[in-house]
Structure 1
Amino acid sequence: MPGLSFGKNDEIIIGHNSHKYKVKIGWGILDAGKNPVNDCHEMVEDAKGRLIMCTNETKNNILIYDKSGKLLETWGNSYPGAHGLTIFNQGSEQFLLICDNARNQVIKTDLKGREIFKIEYPKETGEYQYPGQFVPTESAVNPVNGDIFVVDGYGKNFVIQYNSKGKYIRHFGGNGDAPGQFKCNHGILFDTRIKNKTTLIITSRQQQCWKQFDLNGNFLSQIDLPGSFICRPVLKGQNLYGAVYRSTSESIADSGYIQILDKNNKVISSPGATEPSYVNGKLQTQSKQDPARVFLHPHDVCVDSDENLYIPQWASKKTYPIKLERI
């Protein structure tokens, strides 16, 4: 079957074309009595090669793994809505931004969990009357000046720009069907692939696409992913990666998979889904094709320095992230 094969010792291999992966059965599974997870939301790699994941389980909101799946460290018990996790460099240090959609805040921490500051609901915009209207899902940091961009994916669907200290600058977008608006702007990325032409790529999940903007919030183009209710875009090298939490319809449970796009924003591999196909330059509608039942509801893709993938999953029976080893 296209997209699924078996290696030696019945290893499960998924994906298409240049990007195929071996499923590392049992990777990262912990003692749920000591280190439980609820929804596994997002995951990043730090400069030391450690894998940092957030979950909305307040016994340990942050789990830090090595690449073998060994648990190195945990921290955090005050983030009941830990959803978005962004890592960024500031001087010689790295920091995290946690989007907590239960606390209606974005929290900057160091890698040990010490809180630096919090971004509250953006009343400066004139669009928000109380904290509960602000339900942030993800953030991204401008690598040049440290500006923070937050997407309110479960709230009013604005993109709010702050300076590096969390002071409001501007906002754009909002809920709607216009090109510059969103239906669940679940994730955001600074796309630095073209020198001196950095853009923003922002999810519009219910529209099954990513949208590209300039840094002033002007709409540029759209990357259609028909059939795929996609989460945040992730950049590694010249490729974009994204987790599809559900496909075909948002009402179909356990229908997720992964999307991998090339430098021209064309899908080249879809682990867990039908093979990508283009007709007259348009991607044809894709759907779940995962007979090995590798995925339920993928929510993010972390790509390590060896181009292996780690997939945290939402609403997936409190399971730990899945590792896919590049072959």
Structure 2
Amino acid sequence: MNDCHEMVQDSKGRLILLTNETKNNILIYDTAGKLLDFWGHDFPGGHGLTLVNENGTEFLFITDTVKHQVYKTTMDGKILMTINAPLETGVYKKAEEFVPTETIVDTNGDIFIADGYGAQYITHYDKDGKLLNYFGGRGDGDDHFDNAHGIVIDRRQKKPSLLITDRTRNCFKRFSLDGKLQEIIKLPGACVCRPVIKDQHLYAAVLRSIDMSHPASGFTTILDKHNKVVSNIGGTEPVYQAGVLQPMNQAEKIFIHPHDVCVDKDDNLYVTQWASGKVYPYKFTRV
């Protein structure tokens, strides 16, 4: 195992962990931490891991920041589809400019890819990998990004929307599914990774606190359905003054570089860490 990047739980209750170690990119555990299976030798830049259920059959979407590609695989590792750099957009001149960090898949099979380490565009595809739309990109405007690290479809409101990380700017940005900016959720002091939604709460690993120049300073944050921070594991207590969240910071040295949160069926939390001395995920049991 090298860097632990992201983790999901499948319908069997198994925990699927993605690493960037090509001896075994995927490690599969039970909730007690027993290794059940492993596979994968083809993802040197394994970064984003998304679980999709299509009519009762589960698949994985894996982003690779080294190979500049996104893959759809079976649960045992067979590659079914590869999405390459979207050169047809005209905003990418070469494949190396596309460095995808995350995907999310809609109920109709549409795929959204966040290019968090590249040109910062969000690309939208149909279920067969045909490009439908793109938006965002690097820039200073509110509808642009600087480290669009993660993406999720938020169904807690009547109309589904995209929540997208803008990590360097310490916020999540809400967009319509067709790419129109709707809201900015400011999280001062929190360089957040991907948003993870379970029931009415949003969870996120905070890679670093204050800003990206402060290594080994992360924590894990939890927001309610009103976008209010209700808890920071390893971080300072969230404080609001006149309705405005005050800067947050690491308070306890629990994490080094937390990179993702997985919430299991019993609401236990698993936090994966990057560049943290090859530590395995930490489990936090619901009290």
What's the TM-score bracket when you normalise by the shorter of the two chains? Answer: over 0.9
Q: 1:184 aligns with which of 142, 147, 160?
A: 147
Q: Letter of the aligned partner of 1:71 in structure 2?
A: L
Name the structure 1 match of 2:198.
Answer: 236
**Are 2:135 and 1:172 aligned?**
yes
Tell me which of the two structures has the higher relative contact order, counting C-alpha pairs closer than 8 angstroms and 6 or more residues apart.
Answer: 1
Task: Say whether the 8 Å CA contact 2:171–2:184 is kept in structure 1.
Answer: yes
Map residues 102-117 of structure 1 onto 2, 5 A cutoff: 102-117=66-81
Q: Encode CA deviations 1:235-286: one digit per residue, 9 max, x unaligned.
A: 0000000000001131222101001000101000000000001111111001
| Aligned residue among 82, 89, 113 for 1:118 | 82
Counterpart position of 1:326: 286
For 1:65, the equivalent position in structure 2 comes to: 29
What's the counterpart of residue 253 of structure 1? Answer: 215
Distance 1:165 1:224 in 2: 35
1:132 aligns with 2:92: no
**C-alpha distance in 2 between matches for 1:281 and 1:220:** 19
Corresponding residue of 1:276: 238
- How far apart are 1:78 and its partner, in Å? 0.9
What amino acid does structure 2 have at the position aligned with 1:70? Answer: K
Correspondent of 1:208 among 170, 173, 197: 170
Q: How many residues align?
A: 287
Whichever residue aligns with residue 241 of structure 1, its letter is Y
CA distance in 1, matches of 2:182, 2:211: 27
Partner of 2:54: 90
Deviation at 1:65, TM superposition (A): 0.5
Task: String of CA shifts for 1:22-60, please: whole Å, max 9, x gaps.
Answer: xxxxxxxxxxxxxxx111000000011100010000000
Structure 1 stretches lacking a partner, 5+ long: 1-36
1:21 paired residue number: none
CA contact (8 A) 2:50 2:104 kept: yes
Q: Give the match's secondary structure for 1:258.
A: strand
Residue in 2 that maps onto 1:81: 45
Max Rg structure: 1
Match status 1:147 vs 2:110: yes
CA-CA distance at 1:91 after TM superposition: 1.4
Quick one: distance in 1 between partners of 2:235 and 2:73?
Answer: 36
Structure 1 stretches of 4+ with a deviation exceeding 4 A read: none
One-letter identity of the residue aligned with 1:210: F
Give the deviation of 1:92 after TM superposition: 1.7
Q: CA offsets per residue over residues 124-154 of structure 1, 9 Å max, x none? A: 11111111010000000012x1100000000
5+ residue gaps, structure 2: none
Q: Any residues of structure 2 matched to 1:257-268 within 5 Å, and which?
A: 257-268=219-230
Post-superposition CA distance 1:59-86 (Å, at most 9, x none): 0000000001000000001100000000
One-letter code of the match for 1:175?
A: R
Between the aligned partners of 1:128 and 1:57, the Cα distance in structure 2 is 28
1:206 is paired with a residue whose SS is helix
Cα RMSD between the aligned structures?
A: 0.7
1:193 has 2:129 as partner: no
> TM-score under structure 1 normalisation?
0.87
Contact kept in structure 1, 2:165 and 2:171, CA below 8 Å? yes
Give the equivalent residue in structure 2 for 1:16. none
Q: Secondary structure at the match of 1:312?
A: strand
Q: Does 1:316 align with 2:276?
A: yes
Distance 1:58 1:306 in 2: 31
